Structure 1
Amino acid sequence: MAEDTAEIKVGDKSIELPLITGTENETAINIGALRAQSGLITLDPGYKNTGATRSAITFLDGEKGILRYRGYSIEELAEKSTFLEVAYLLIYGELPDAKTQQEFNTGITHHTLVHEDIKKILEGFPSNAHPMGVLSSLVTSLTAFYPESLDPNRSADAVDLSIIRILAKMPTFAAWAYK
């Protein structure tokens, strides 16, 4: 058995599964092929020992009370960073310098205006509609107002613009959905 695999024996059958190393140097067994190779599945009550995905954004260890985004503890970000600084960190992988943050904030401020026709969409919902259904629908409706955002060949700048538009309009959408 190679060093970078784990071996599971079921009866007289031996199955090798790859080991992977996470962003915090934790080791995991990739069981993605377990069922195909053995017909077996795993049971992890409460998902206390299951990583759902590989992530360069979030590290979570609930038993130790650790939550980090891009290597920064949630406590540090909550104490020292604004919402938009953390948003920038999550999207682009690093905290922005002062100039970059100012440009990002200006872009957000510039795109806060919500097209009046979106209010007509909002009025189409029942008064007792769940706010999350309303909110997700309002976000999705942006593609009707900015169809170029759906272009699979759009540039990185166009993707950034879509991100900025969503962040800019989200406070208004959330308030509308809640009300």
Structure 2
Amino acid sequence: MNREASSPIDVTTTPMPADSAAIRSAFSRFPSGIAALCAAVEGEPVALVASSFQVGISLDPPLVLFSVQQSSTTWPRLRRATHLGVSILGADHGEICAQLAAKDKSARFKDIETIVDADSAVFLPNSALLMKCSIRSETAAGDHRLILLEVLGVQADTRVEPLIFHGSEFRGLDRR
């Protein structure tokens, strides 16, 4: 839609709220896919769920990125893995996503089917995209860490629609 020059757009912003809940609510207006980053560490599956996952950071070499809170107790365990399985969750994975992100780490993989490869990368079947990755670098960024991953292999399933996180809710794509 084009606007005529005689009707200018009035865009105003408000200062950033000091309240982290208000910031989180504002940021929730940006829709994102959801990645489950998983590996078997010392024989036990470990999962971290990230809505901050970004692809296309670099094509040569292929790099992806996600962020994790500095206070995470899962990341120090997961980062010990030599390879991570990244599963871009499918539209039907809402309950699995909530279970993998639960505070009770002992029940995260209860009754969840997984695929574990020879390098202990763990994948979730019926995902929109699977990527095998290795950790390239970590950088402190405020109260988070930015984790750069090198993609070593991919498998996409074009029949699976991705799970979307928007407005603090799980959604699917609306194909109008």
Q: TM-score, normalised by structure 2?
A: 0.22
Greater length-normalized contact order (CA 8 Å, ≥ 6 residues apart): 2
Point out the structure with max Rg over C-alpha. Answer: 1
Task: Give the helix-richer structure, 1 or 2.
Answer: 1
Q: TM-score, normalised by structure 1?
A: 0.22
Task: Give the strand-richer structure, 1 or 2.
Answer: 2
